[in-house]
Structure 1
Amino acid sequence: FLLLGSVYEMFGNECCLPTGEVIKVVGFKITNIIAECKEDNDEGHCMKQVELPLDFPALFKVIADSVPYFTIGEITRSLQIGQSRLGRPHFQNNMDMHLDGLTIKQGECIIIISLTEVEGKQCVNCEVNRDGESHNFSLPLSYEGEFCECSDDQFYTLKEILDWKIPKSRKRTVKLAKALTNWDLNFSPLPMDFIGDLILVPVYEIQAVMKFRKDIVHIPSNLDVEVIDVTDSYDINSFVQPLSVNDIFERPCKEFPLVAEIIEGPDPSQAIYRFMQPGKEIVIHQKCQSKRILASELRSDTHKRHFLIPNSYKGKLKRRPREFPTAYDLEIAKAEKEQLHVVATKAFTTNYTELASVLVGDQFLIQKRQTVEVSYKGIKKKVDVLACEKIIGKDYEQVLLPMYMEGGFVEVIHDKKQYYLSKVCEQFHLPFNVTVSVRDLSMTEDILAAVSGLQIEEQITDPYLLVSFFDNPEDRWEVPVHRVNMSLQLISKSNVKPESSPTRTIVEEISEEFYYMLRRYENTALHPPPRPPKKPVIPVSEQVALSVPQQKKPDPPKSPKVKH
């Protein structure tokens, strides 16, 4: 754009836009969100506007937009289409669609997968699911219809909505589903006990570059300045070409290594990457995929912290007792290499003589799941049970616990070994509880050493760039693609020869919002385990509250029937 006016002060930013300056718009960024919420008072309903911080920790349900799109091109220009599951919008046409060899019925859900080109025409790849089978087809952007959003029963964080679910030039209505635990409700911008709909109105800023500046200029979208579009008559290649970390990662492997200059460093909140300062030149050696361990702090209050730990973490870990709310959880957690020994923390009474009742303090060795026939008042039925050995002094009694029992158990640990993180993930079923017994001496600061206990939850695959500073190519760092936001300018292809230099890894503390995003989307291909069967309809007597018997802690059990 060619500027026809000039502005010399922009809310404290050290930048001026003189008349005649040519700027290149490289992107848009949402700076804050105005939420319109309906509030009841003595005079009836009124709309109240509040400002939501971009990191507002809550989960929302998206309300389907009732205003239709009349071409496929309108959808692609309004919504972001991407490889992520979030980048696949769902629409339905209010009329039948007759395609080659396929008819899409009115109201049938159409999933837009990606943008493509067919015979020189821009198209979208689409999919419909019928009776468990997927049918794929392409539609040109000019295809006309009356396309409305499908209802969505998923929950999203505010960041996910801003990145994927807010159409350009449209508002987005959402419903607050859950406020996450680390938010102080006393300072919430929303009205107390608010449960209604919110209309989200994003406030944008323009990201632009100038011909004689390397940094990115942030221009408020409400800035009163006159411009002329000169795109067709100007050489835009003469400007800085800023690229994101994700843009670099999408380049072919054969182009690496690359030399780049940092134009805009990571967000100040990402303190562990503060060494990536604007103006520094870095060598991007290659793009990689690595394993990260998602872990949470073991504590009962609402200020639980979450961590992403590299698989190469060299600290030593000791086991901590796990807690199991049901017999079903015991069956999942049992391992072949060792006997699972637990103590009951909740009483349970059964009316079936074939099954065992449980008192607080009872100890069990878990064996296997099986199906048995039980009877009550002459009615016979088959139920799933967990076969166990009940420890009675130095003796063992074979008992059956119903899988549906609403109990509670705590693990008894007899293992005094120390483990590396990679071995924990190999040998034990996750989630698994540990504490750091010896910190990782290769790190300047091991933040896990100060944590009283950790629950190792799952392994995720994490894409990253392997980088080093141009003047010190042997000191290499991993820069995660999805968690570091910075802008780079490519300078040249590097002549640095590949070396097997050690890579510095970092334990990252992540926000609760990002933790929920990882748990829900990193392993979307994995199906959750089946839930235990519901409790039988036959009523059972109320549980009896019992105190834990005071007894001497037994020696590690050695069942005569089970090899430990």
Structure 2
Amino acid sequence: LNILGLYKVVADKTPYVSIEEITRKVSIGPTRFGHPCFYSPEDIKLANITIKHGEHITFNSVEEVNGTMTVNCGVVRNNQSHSFTLPFSQEGKFYECEDDQIYTLKEIAEWKIPKCRNRIVKLSNTLHMWDSSNPLPENFDGCLILTPVYEVQAVMKFRKDIVHILSDLDVEVKDITDCYDISSFLQPLSLEDVFERTSKEFPMIAEIMEGPSGSQKPYNLLYTGKEIIIYKKYQATRVLASEIRSDSPKRHFLIPMSYKGKFKRRPREFPTAYDLEIARSEKEQLHVVATKAFDSPHKELFSVSVGDQFLVQQCQTSEVLYEGRKKLIDVLACEQILSDTYKKVLLPMYMEGGFVEVIHDKKQYQLSEICKEFRLPFNVKVSVRDLSIEEDVLAAVPGLQFEEEITDSYLLISSASSPMESWEIPVYRLNMSVHLLSKDGQTVVPPVTKTTVEEISEEQYYMVRRYENQTLHPPPRPPKKPTLAPKPVFAVPKQDVSDVLQAPKVSYHTLSLSLLQS
């Protein structure tokens, strides 16, 4: 289930015949994975609301009301959510809605495969990171049928490792629970399980039962059998950064706010005038150079040549003549920089051109200063490395783009044998299990926390962005381009650009794949 790849779920075409059947076969739970959506081809009339045919019904939770089992549901109308309940006895045809989210195989196995049914998925185009173990044919672009294969994870008395038992093992099992003290068995806990403990239970001492893989500190110190002190749990802010390079693959990093290095600004690139408006700030005037030509279809608006320089001012509306009629459109007011003067010009917001930022600021910034003073995404280069890190991986990167701030869950740990320094470890990106020891943690105040810049995989990068984007409101879309198309846009040669710049207990073990050729 840890194989690389993100997948889109194909909606099941077979309907469910009642609400009770949905609750028996589909996972409904407190997380966002446990909120499936269905629609009915017929109207559903309830006491306080009528659900129209085709409306997306979100199933949020199951509960008993006055002795009747019901599902708490919701529909969204005109950006407003309306809640209601559906009894298990409600019959009809209920079809699964299309799902535009992307998931890992583990998430699909745990939440998105109904009981007694298979699941068809399609590999998302956002990720093409396969190694030599790729099970799919080359350039495969069809669908996959996923069939779960189960295993039981168990612990044995007097053994500290986790035993994996395949579900098709031909043995007889006898329940002897009443004859044994369950507390005498080790209880493996995932990092998620530890994080769910109450804050007053920390600090705690634990022994690692299954350690993570990785050569980077502290992961290379977290081996099986090692005792660690877990001081506390908390939410921490990270800056998601990607390497600036034209080819792939790019490296991705999560940088803690405690990073002590310094950064210098690097020029940003903007594909449209709309992007210039998003990047505009009150702190300083945005100075850009055009790298593509643009011939305006309206005489009231400016036609751009390669090398034109502009100071971006503000967004406004302007009246243009369009098919013999006057029409108001959104434009970006700029000052064109001429040899000895400035000229006010208007650029259409939909303009598909190309601009590169001109940097006048030579200051060196701390990470927290950049996040406070500038709007992300933001381009930088490490000018002074973090001397508290043995090997600062960011210092060797020619350029970084800070993409967004994210908030994630962490545990603060140190080695129990030599608690001289502590590290933050991510709860949801580290596959590690521990068992708690009987003794209490004695060191209440953790030692100095070492800064850890976490390099994440391509898959983890898309996962982090996907989780974060659930809580962010997308920016407004730029106005649509008028049907009167401009003349072709010509790209500036590379040398011209450079010249300008120099200016769980039972779990899924694996999934069986069947290929559906499209």
- Compute the TM-score of the two structures, normalised by the length of structure 1: 0.79
Deviation at 1:81, TM superposition (A): 3.9
Encode CA deviations 1:367-386: one digit per residue, 9 max, x unaligned. 11111112257432111111
2-side partners of 1:228 and 1:146: how far apart?
42
State yes or no: 1:252 paired with 2:198: yes
SS of the aligned residue for 1:254 comes to helix
1-side partners of 2:489 and 2:56: how far apart?
48
2-side partners of 1:399 and 1:122: how far apart?
65
Deviation at 1:101, TM superposition (A): 4.6
State yes or no: 1:109 paired with 2:56: yes
Quick one: structure 1 residues 345 and 253, their matched pair in 2 at CA, closer, same or farther if it must change by over 3 Å? same
Equivalent position amino acid for 1:171 in 2: N
Encode CA deviations 1:95-139: one digit per residue, 9 max, x unaligned. 876767556566653323245676799865433334433333556
CA contact (8 A) 2:291 2:491 kept: no
Q: Which residue matches 2:35? A: 88
Quick one: structure 1 residues 305 and 555, their matched pair in 2 at CA, closer, same or farther if it must change by over 3 Å? closer
Q: Which residue matches 2:113? A: 166
State yes or no: 1:437 paired with 2:375: no
Q: Which residue matches 2:364? A: 418
2-side partners of 1:232 and 1:93: how far apart?
48
2-side partners of 1:538 and 1:450: how far apart?
48
Encode CA deviations 1:61-120: one digit per residue, 9 max, x unaligned. 433252537554x65564444443222122346787676755656665332324567679
Q: Which residue matches 2:311? A: 365
CA contact (8 A) 1:259 1:283 kept: yes
CA contact (8 A) 1:205 1:221 kept: yes
CA RMSD of aligned residues (A): 3.2
2-side partners of 1:465 and 1:123: how far apart?
38
Quick one: structure 1 residues 532 and 394, their matched pair in 2 at CA, closer, same or farther if it must change by over 3 Å? same
Quick one: structure 1 residues 228 and 471, their matched pair in 2 at CA, closer, same or farther if it must change by over 3 Å? same
CA contact (8 A) 2:273 2:353 kept: yes
State yes or no: 1:68 paired with 2:23: no
Equivalent position amino acid for 1:63 in 2: A
2-side partners of 1:551 and 1:67: how far apart?
59
SS of the aligned residue for 1:464 comes to strand
2-side partners of 1:377 and 1:176: how far apart?
45
Deviation at 1:207, TM superposition (A): 0.8
Q: Which residue matches 2:227? A: 281
SS of the aligned residue for 1:522 comes to helix
Quick one: structure 1 residues 97 and 328, their matched pair in 2 at CA, closer, same or farther if it must change by over 3 Å? closer
State yes or no: 1:347 paired with 2:272: no
Q: Which residue matches 1:263? A: 209
Equivalent position amino acid for 1:252 in 2: T
Q: Which residue matches 1:292? A: 238
2-side partners of 1:70 and 1:231: how far apart?
37
Q: Which residue matches 2:83? A: 136
Aligned with residue 136 of structure 2, among 171, 181, 190: 190
CA contact (8 A) 2:11 2:99 kept: no
CA contact (8 A) 1:258 1:492 kept: no
Larger deviation: 263-272 or 193-202? 263-272
1-side partners of 2:354 and 2:138: how far apart?
35
Quick one: structure 1 residues 451 and 99, their matched pair in 2 at CA, closer, same or farther if it must change by over 3 Å? same
CA contact (8 A) 1:60 1:176 kept: yes
Equivalent position amino acid for 2:159 in 1: R
Aligned with residue 530 of structure 1, among 468, 476, 487: 476
Quick one: structure 1 residues 554 and 226, their matched pair in 2 at CA, closer, same or farther if it must change by over 3 Å? closer
CA contact (8 A) 1:112 1:126 kept: yes
Aligned with residue 322 of structure 1, among 268, 292, 304: 268
Quick one: structure 1 residues 536 and 93, their matched pair in 2 at CA, closer, same or farther if it must change by over 3 Å? closer
Aligned with residue 216 of structure 1, among 132, 157, 162: 162
Equivalent position amino acid for 1:242 in 2: P
Deviation at 1:468, TM superposition (A): 2.3
Deviation at 1:407, TM superposition (A): 0.3
CA contact (8 A) 2:202 2:230 kept: yes
Aligned with residue 199 of structure 1, among 120, 145, 155: 145
Deviation at 1:145, TM superposition (A): 4.0
Quick one: structure 1 residues 284 and 445, their matched pair in 2 at CA, closer, same or farther if it must change by over 3 Å? same
Stretches of structure 1 that go unaligned for 5 or more consecutive residues are: 1-29, 31-53, 557-564
Quick one: structure 1 residues 121 and 479, their matched pair in 2 at CA, closer, same or farther if it must change by over 3 Å? farther
Encode CA deviations 1:474-503: one digit per residue, 9 max, x unaligned. 522212111112222223473535326321
Aligned with residue 509 of structure 1, among 455, 464, 480: 455
Quick one: structure 1 residues 410 and 472, their matched pair in 2 at CA, closer, same or farther if it must change by over 3 Å? same
Quick one: structure 1 residues 315 and 549, their matched pair in 2 at CA, closer, same or farther if it must change by over 3 Å? closer
2-side partners of 1:545 and 1:452: how far apart?
25
2-side partners of 1:210 and 1:403: how far apart?
66
Quick one: structure 1 residues 358 and 283, their matched pair in 2 at CA, closer, same or farther if it must change by over 3 Å? same
Write out aligned runs for 1:467-546 (5 A). Answer: 467-473=413-419, 475-492=421-438, 494=440, 496=442, 498-499=444-445, 501-543=447-489
Encode CA deviations 1:217-244: one digit per residue, 9 max, x unaligned. 1123333333234456654343222211
Larger deviation: 130-139 or 440-449? 130-139
Quick one: structure 1 residues 65 and 86, their matched pair in 2 at CA, closer, same or farther if it must change by over 3 Å? farther
Q: Count residues with an aligned counterpart.
A: 501
1-side partners of 2:501 and 2:291: how far apart?
17
State yes or no: 1:332 paired with 2:254: no
CA contact (8 A) 1:259 1:494 kept: yes
Encode CA deviations 1:303-360: one digit per residue, 9 max, x unaligned. 1111111111111111111100000000111121112111101001113222111111
SS of the aligned residue for 1:135 comes to strand
2-side partners of 1:70 and 1:442: how far apart?
61
SS of the aligned residue for 1:154 comes to coil
State yes or no: 1:456 paired with 2:402: yes
Equivalent position amino acid for 1:458 in 2: E
Deviation at 1:523, TM superposition (A): 3.1
Larger deviation: 474-483 or 155-164? 155-164
Quick one: structure 1 residues 94 and 539, their matched pair in 2 at CA, closer, same or farther if it must change by over 3 Å? closer
2-side partners of 1:307 and 1:542: how far apart?
38
- Compute the TM-score of the two structures, normalised by the length of structure 2: 0.86
2-side partners of 1:255 and 1:274: how far apart?
27
Q: Which residue matches 1:178? A: 125
CA contact (8 A) 1:109 1:150 kept: no
Deviation at 1:391, TM superposition (A): 1.1
Quick one: structure 1 residues 68 and 429, their matched pair in 2 at CA, closer, same or farther if it must change by over 3 Å? same
Equivalent position amino acid for 2:195 in 1: F
CA contact (8 A) 1:262 1:280 kept: yes
Aligned with residue 375 of structure 1, among 321, 338, 345: 321
Larger deviation: 228-237 or 217-226? 228-237
SS of the aligned residue for 1:91 comes to strand
Quick one: structure 1 residues 443 and 106, their matched pair in 2 at CA, closer, same or farther if it must change by over 3 Å? same
Quick one: structure 1 residues 96 and 60, their matched pair in 2 at CA, closer, same or farther if it must change by over 3 Å? closer
SS of the aligned residue for 1:219 comes to strand
Stretches of structure 2 that go unaligned for 5 or more consecutive residues are: 504-518
2-side partners of 1:125 and 1:282: how far apart?
42
